[in-house]
Structure 1
Amino acid sequence: MSITAQTVWNNCLEFIKDNIQPQAYKTWFEPIIAVKLTDNALSIQVPSKFFYEWLEEHYVKILKVSLTKELGEKAKLVYIIKMENTYGNKQPFTERIPSSNRSGLKSQDVDIPLNNKNPELRNPFVIPGIRNVKIESQLNPNYSFENFLEGDSNRLARSAGLAVAAKPGGTSFNPLLIFGGVGLGKTHLAHAIGVDIKDKYPEKTVLYISAEKFTQQYIDSVKKNNRNDFIHFYQIIDVLIIDDVQFLTGKTGTQDVFFHIFNHLHQNGKQVILTSDKAPVDMQDIEQRLLSRFKWGLSAELQHPDFETRVSILKNKLYRDGVEMPEDIIDYVAKNIKTNVRELEGAIISLIAQSSFNKKEITIDLARTIVEKFVKNTKREVSIDYIQKVVSDYFQMDIDTLQSKTRKRHIVQARQLAMFFAKKLTKASLASIGSQIGKRDHATVLHACKTVDNLSSTDKQFKKYVEDISKKLSV
């Protein structure tokens, strides 16, 4: 039986999977494609230059061990880097056999003089009519790397942030897109990068702005007929941080102007940092040419912190506030509040406040009372109406279409998913669910739930639908 590239790589993956963290495996090894096997050289395809650099920096030893086991001491590994071009087509970028000297793939640092720093440009951050070239960063110095604790849930994003802060515009992480759910630290990390850059490079112009404020400024510039001034102002920024970039969804004019600003900054070696509540692949109504640029750098996800990270966050918070608390109380809070960092810190603040205001000792009973109230108050009620809205938004259809009598496959599947989640997440009867989702009977709902269960185990794409909607409905 002839040995194929896929066979060799599958065997390597089995070994690698047993020796690294599951999240690291998913991030750095699942996207790799085995391409060809020539003598003792295995060629693998990776999606970008930064991906290659990261593998060489962090996983070259395990790659060497796994490949040597398969192909012997003379084993070689060839990277084929395929990057997306502007139009979203796959296009080979380069090919390289790894060695200790990887300078051939390192990007060259070029200092490009800034010729358009015009003191007459209107600054949208100062009072209209007053000309001012001093640009305040809008950064919050309380958000730093020191109080952004590292864990498995954020290690990639934090490491990339530190790399960008050390060399803004000079790494492959440009743009750096940090994405994740509410309260997981996207804004904190974005500020921390900016604060660190300001400390290391005081001469650089760093600016933090929300996508909502950016949009409003653009609308104002169009009204006042000074759109060019608006564009020129943003083109003189060295490090531009835009928070909640998903807010640009559906705003074609703002997307167009940001596209030109982004191109100028990127071409001139300036750093762009973005945050979003979703990955680029899930951003709907964002122009493809803009999405393709988001994918040029690194998209790093912030996930829900694990128990150990939650304990560390609480201890760090207590230490910063000069408060002592028994270990069993800290563990109790960390075990029972899992959703996000914001709620975790909010619960500990409430606990300290209750203790000091009422002059009560901090006990497990007090912690239990606070946590129960806190979780109850922050838990969003999931209704059948809400489930229908989430599902219809996900499939980009209105609720009337979801409830309609049509038998088109994608609409039927959306309707079945709505019924499935209504049964799973509410206490409503099958008859009630059917009545609210298009006036169906209980047998239709039962059939829908069975269909969703069957398709989830046999259809990968459908399984992804279930997982995505579960995340959106998670409370």
Structure 2
Amino acid sequence: MNIGQEILDKLKDEITEVEYNRYIKYLSYDSKKSTSDLALFYAPNALVLNWIKSKYAKKIAHLFEVKSGNKVTVQIVLKNTTEKRKTKKIIEAKQGSSLLNPTHTFDNFMVGGSNQFAYAAVKSVSENAGKVYNPLFIYGGVGLGKTHLMQAAGNVFQNQGKVVIYTTSEQLLNDFIRHLRNHSMERFQEKYRKCDVLLIDDIQFLSNKDSIQEEFFHTFEALRGAGKQIILTADKHPKKIGGLEARLQSRFEWGLVADIQPPELETKIAIIEKKCEINKVKLSRDIVNYIATVIDSNVREIEGILSKLHAYSQLMHIDIDLEFTKNILKDQMNENRENLTMDKITQVVAKDLNIKPSEIRSKGRSKNIVYARRISIYICRELTQNTMPQLAQYFGMKDHTAISHTIKKINDLIQNDEDFRVKIEELTNKITSSS
């Protein structure tokens, strides 16, 4: 019996039989590709993969450390996808780099207005490595698809037989420190300067780290001078990354800087539907729409939500309907909305409708002000814990009965005015996405 199976058998004693039989028992350990500090497992489908990653990856890594005495990185990939991949030159940096996720492809990346430019830029680079947009710098918030796009290009490059390194800035730093301590910097330099493509996630974490910035500057120069492709991601534009050397900042802008914005409602719906198709989860349109309004701009949460719904449904033998979904996701919804204030809601509504927040809270009776005020009152009532008297005081209305009367009018409009209902949904989504 190999060590991987021993670890899974050990895990069996520490979790429920139902979860073991439903998920863990389908994992298979690759003893040939695993090393002393990398444990490679195959999962049969994305649902099992995501469930185990979210719940048991750390536990499996801990059991490996207890068993072998080594810190082990647990890598779980899709079995079928891995078996079909051709033999490629892949650098597996045991102390710093990560394997590319084979499920990150251009085909399963949902393109919308918020990410269309970044998608087009990465796609173009994947077809002309080192010739256009070098470096390519992608920035945006957490979970918007930066890593997916970068690794999609990496998978294309590997299919072309290129040597690809994908790593995070934290892993790069750890690798640098290890080689520095071991007086083996020539090996570090050879590794990162001899690849065809270098992909680095979250480059902003190199801020204020002078030694690694110095080394990376020379690596950058060597790669770009040799026509090798560099793709970087960060949470903000290079100009706004504090603690970054000016010469690095300027070089990050030499090629192309592309941003990814939070997805609009239609794109989030399309993403959820695609994930449902991939993970073979059946959800009605009203459930899909509800999930799209509950999740914030972090698209990465979608697979976790689908896994959670599927697992609860299977374990409790309950069909997934809207009420069930609301109950399962109530904590998620509360977390996304707990920081919402009436000020924030009013500001978003005012900006969207091109009026001043002070006008919404005034006694103005013009058509556009009344329209904005009604929307603000309704959304504040729905998304905050404020009472009707508190709403009345905030919006300058006589008392709670005036709020009650206004909300009745709003509910009538929602029932009878399609444009008004759609505007409420759009703004609710925008507000919860930015919370």
Same fold, judged at TM 0.5 (above): yes
Q: Structure 2: which amino acid aligns with 1:224? A: N
For residue 298 of structure 1, report the CA deviation from its aligned partner. 1.1
> What does 1:259-408 correspond to in 2, within 5 Å?
259-377=217-335
Q: Does 1:256 align with 2:224?
A: no
**What TM-score do the two structures reach when normalised by structure 2?**
0.55
Q: How does 1:39-58 map to 2 (within 5 A)?
A: none
1:177 counterpart residue number: 137
Residue 198 (structure 1) aligned with residue 166 (structure 2):
no
- Paired letter, 1:138: L
Matched residues in 2 for 1:229 and 1:382: separation?
51
The equivalent of 1:150 in structure 2 is 111
Task: Please give the alpha-carbon distance, in whole angstroms, between the structure 2 residues aligned to 1:226 and 1:252.
Answer: 19
Whole-Å separation in 2 of the counterparts to 1:153 and 1:244: 20
Counterpart-to-counterpart distance in 1, 2:316 and 2:94: 45
Structure 1 partner of 2:149: 189
Superposed displacement of residue 318, structure 1: 0.8
State the 1:344 CA deviation. 2.8
* Residue matched to 2:348: none
> Does structure 1 conserve the Cα–Cα contact (< 8 Å) formed by 2:296 and 2:434?
no
Matched ranges for 1:415-454 at <5 A: none
Q: Report the secondary structure of 1:324's partner residue.
A: coil
3-state DSSP class of the match of 2:208? coil
Deviations 1:221-279 (A, max 9, x none): 22122223311221101100011101100100000000000001111110000011111
Contact 2:294 2:332 in 1 (8 A): no
Residue 378 of structure 1: how far off its partner (Å): 5.7
Whole-Å separation in 2 of the counterparts to 1:167 and 1:227: 31
Structure-2 change in CA distance of 1:349 and 1:266 (3 Å): same
Query: Which residue in 2 is equivalent to 1:125?
Result: 93
Give how far 1:137 is off: 7.3
Question: Partner of 1:264: helix, strand, or coil?
Answer: helix
Deviation at 1:377, TM superposition (A): 4.2
Q: In the alignment, is the contact (CA less than 8 A) between 1:179 and 1:300 conserved in 2?
A: yes
Kept in 1: contact 2:197–2:230 (CA 8 A):
yes
For 2:337 and 2:237, locate their aligned partners in 1 and report how far apart those are by CA, in whole Å. 24
Q: How far is the alpha carbon of 1:295 from its aligned partner?
A: 0.3
Change beyond 3 A, Cα 1:124–1:318: closer
2:194 to 211, 219, 236: 236
Q: Cα deviation per residue 1:387-427 (whole Å; 9 max; x = unaligned)?
A: xxxxxxxxxxxxxxxxxxxxxxxxxxxxxxxxxxxxxxx99
User: Which secondary structure state, in structure 2, belongs to the residue aligned with residue 341 of structure 1?
Assistant: coil
Q: Tell me if structure 1 keeps the 8 A contact 2:97–2:168.
A: no
1:362-394 CA-to-partner distances (Å, cap 9, x unmatched) read 2111122223222334667699xxxxxxxxxxx
Once residues 239 and 378 of structure 1 are traced to their aligned partners in structure 2, the CA distance between those partners, rounded to angstroms, is: 38
Distance in 2 (alpha carbons) for counterparts of 1:375 and 1:474: 13
The alpha carbon displacement at 1:182 in A equals 0.9
Contact 1:137-1:205 within 8 A present in 2 as well: no
The residue number in structure 2 matching 1:116 is none
Note closer, same or farther for the CA distance 1:146–1:223 as it changes in structure 2 (3 Å cut).
Answer: same
Say which SS state the counterpart of residue 178 (structure 1) adopts.
strand
Q: Determine the C-alpha separation between the residues in 2 that align with 1:136 and 1:344.
A: 26
Structure 1 residue identity aligned to 2:138:
I
Question: Which residue of 1 is the match for residue 404 of structure 2?
Answer: none
Gap change, CA 1:124 and 1:353, over 3 Å in 2: closer
DSSP-derived class of the 1:274 partner: strand
For 2:307 and 2:265, locate their aligned partners in 1 and report how far apart those are by CA, in whole Å: 19
Q: When you count helix as a share of all residues, which structure comes out higher?
A: 2
**What is the aligned partner in structure 2 of residue 223 from structure 1?**
181
Task: Answer whether contact 1:153 1:305 (CA < 8 A) is retained.
Answer: yes
Looking at structure 2, the residues matched to 136 and 294 of structure 1 have their Cα atoms a distance apart, in angstroms, of 21
Deviation, 1:197, is 1.4
Q: Given the alignment, which residue of 140, 159, 165 partners 2:120? A: 159
**Paired residues, number:** 257
TM-score by length of 1: 0.51
CA contact (8 A) 2:97 2:171 kept: no
Q: Could you list the runs of 5+ residues in structure 2 that have no partner in the other structure?
A: 1-90, 342-383, 386-430
Report the Cα distance in structure 2 between the residues aligned to 1:360 and 1:220, rounded to whole angstroms.
51
Deviation, 1:124, is: 8.6
Q: Trace 1:22-101 onto structure 2 (pairs within 5 A).
A: none
Distance 1:370 1:158 in 2: 33
| Paired-residue identity, % | 38
CA pair 312-177 structure 1, distance change in 2 beyond 3 A: same
CA distance in 2, matches of 1:137, 1:146: 22
